[in-house]
A and B are shown apart, each in its own frame.
Chain A
Amino acid sequence: MDKINKNLDLQKDDQLADFADQVINGNTKQNASPPTDELFGLEETILRLNSSLPPVSLDDAKVKQMHVRFKARIRREEQSVTSSFWQKWFSRESTPQLALAFAVLAVVIVAIVGAPSFGLTGSTSAGTAFTPGSIFLAIGMAAVFFILYWFARKR
């Protein structure tokens, strides 16, 4: 019994596959199975699919057109990647005030880290660069700088 059912299924599989082949090749427009058959509904679905989404072929002109647009898009994306965050923020044309502010901030950090820390005791010429206080201040400013960068990046 199982074997008979299996054979029937195989037959249906073949029949539906053949029907799909014919429809795709444009040979059949009507259902091949009797309306009562289970396959009838499936053939109807195939016909519906094929008529709503008929096969298309891209002509050479369209392919070339798409390729040109693809290349243009690639160029645009490459340009947007090459002008990095730093270039954008430090470019004088786009945001002169901000670029200046960043530059001043960078100079201040360098000055704090690099300048000797003058103490009240002893000679005025005595001092040490990189005291813990100046380093913490520099780290703090760097952190602010990083946070600014992070938010700008997220935007």
Chain B
Amino acid sequence: MLYSIEITNPFSPFSTTQYMENLTNSILQDPSDELLIQHFKDGRKDAFDQLYYRHLPKVYKRVRYVVPENDVEDVTQEIFIAALSSLTSFRGDAKFSTWLRTLTNHKVAEFYRKRTRKQEPPLSPLSDAAAHTTGSTSKTMEERVYLQRALQDLPENYREILLLRFAEDLQFNEIAEMTNQNLEATKSLFRRAVAALRTHLEK
């Protein structure tokens, strides 16, 4: 992460102390994930709060895309509880956001496993939608649940690219950079993913 710090040269009117003060303030204002994790590992539990505030919106949006409305908050909280309990073992091989994304996918999969174990229909459009809404909104809810089921049934790479673009609002070039692919391959994967989703919806 880049900080907006001006590197001072020896001929600058700023002293080294001033430079260090600027650096400290800048880090305190916008510390990187890695720094926050280090603080957390050093015993500053409040560092996790900053991580929570920073990553909650993205996690929430992703969960909302694949989990029924009523369970979104619960699953989101489960993800952060899991992150909190296993953060000490986070080695930093990947970015924290990538690690959190993987954790999110695991927790969503676990949510559906538990649902199946409870003998509930995996995502019955009618039951889920009709249980919470009435009239015209139930049709929208039904469609939403139907789409969520189709998304969940897609192969992982297809689901991932759709979630990155639609749920997390990442641009195609950002997705390409993140997945170490070129832009052409990313767009091609996107088209195949949409085609697969269409096929699932037509079933």
Cβ of B147 within 8 Å of any chain A Cβ, yes or no, is yes
Interface residue tally of chain A, by bracket?
20 to 34
Considering only residues 25-49 of chain A, those with a C-beta below 8 Å from chain B are 41-42, 44-46, 48-49
Cα distance, A73 to B52, chains bound together (Å): 14
Closest to A63 in B: B56
Q: Is B61 an interface residue (CB 8 A)?
A: yes
The reply on B166 being an interface residue by CB < 8 A is: yes
The stretch of B5-13, B21-29, B103-111, B185-193 that contacts the partner chain: B185-193
- Nearest chain A CB to B43 CB, angstrom units: 15
A13 touches B194 (CB 8 A): no
Q: Answer yes or no: B80 CB below 8 A from chain A CBs.
A: yes
Decide yes or no whether B158 CB sits under 8 A from chain A: no
Q: Check A73–B49 contact: CB distance below 8 A.
A: no
A66–B77 CB distance below 8 A: yes
**Are the CB atoms of B77 and A69 closer together than 8 Å?**
yes
The residues of A that contact B60 with a CB separation of less than 8 Å are 58, 66
Q: Is the CB of B56 within 8 A of A66?
A: yes
* Bound form: Cα–Cα A46–B194 in Å: 7
Picked from A12, A49, A56, the residue with its CB within 8 Å of the CB of B61 is A56
Query: A58 to B60, alpha carbons, bound, how many Å?
Result: 8
Q: Is the CB of B187 within 8 A of A42?
A: no
Q: Is the CB of B144 within 8 A of A45?
A: no
B77 contacts across to A, CB distance below 8 A: 66, 69-70, 73
What chain A residues lie within 8 Å of B172 (beta carbons)? 17, 21
Q: State whether the Cβ of A53 lies closer than 8 Å to any Cβ in chain B.
A: yes
Residue numbers in A under 8 Å from B76 (CB-CB): 66
On whether the beta carbons of B53 and A73 are closer than 8 Å, the reply is no
B123 to chain A, nearest CB (A): 14
**A127 CB to nearest chain B CB (Å):** 53
Q: A92 at the A/B interface (Cβ < 8 Å)?
A: no
A52 located at the interface, meaning its Cβ lies under 8 Å from any Cβ of chain B in the complex: yes
**With A45-B198, A63-B53, A66-B73 given, is the CB distance from A55 to B184 under 8 Å?**
no
B140 within 8 A of A: yes
Residue contacts A-B, CB under 8 angstroms, 24 given: A10-B184, A12-B191, A13-B191, A14-B187, A16-B187, A16-B191, A17-B172, A24-B169, A42-B195, A48-B143, A48-B147, A48-B201, A52-B147, A53-B144, A53-B147, A53-B148, A55-B169, A56-B61, A63-B57, A66-B60, A66-B76, A67-B52, A67-B56, A77-B81
Chain B contacts to A: CB under 8 angstroms? 49, 52-53, 56-57, 60-61, 64-65, 73, 76-77, 80-81, 84, 140, 143-144, 147-148, 162, 165-167, 169, 171-172, 184, 187-188, 190-191, 194-195, 197-198, 201
Instruction: Apart from A42-B198, A53-B148, list 18 A-B contacts with CB within 8 A.
Output: A16-B190, A16-B194, A17-B190, A21-B171, A24-B165, A41-B198, A48-B143, A53-B64, A53-B144, A55-B166, A58-B61, A66-B60, A67-B52, A67-B56, A69-B77, A73-B77, A73-B81, A77-B81
Residue ranges of A at the interface with B (Cβ–Cβ < 8 Å): 9-10, 12-14, 16-17, 20-21, 24, 41-42, 44-46, 48-50, 52-53, 55-58, 63, 66-67, 69-70, 73-74, 77
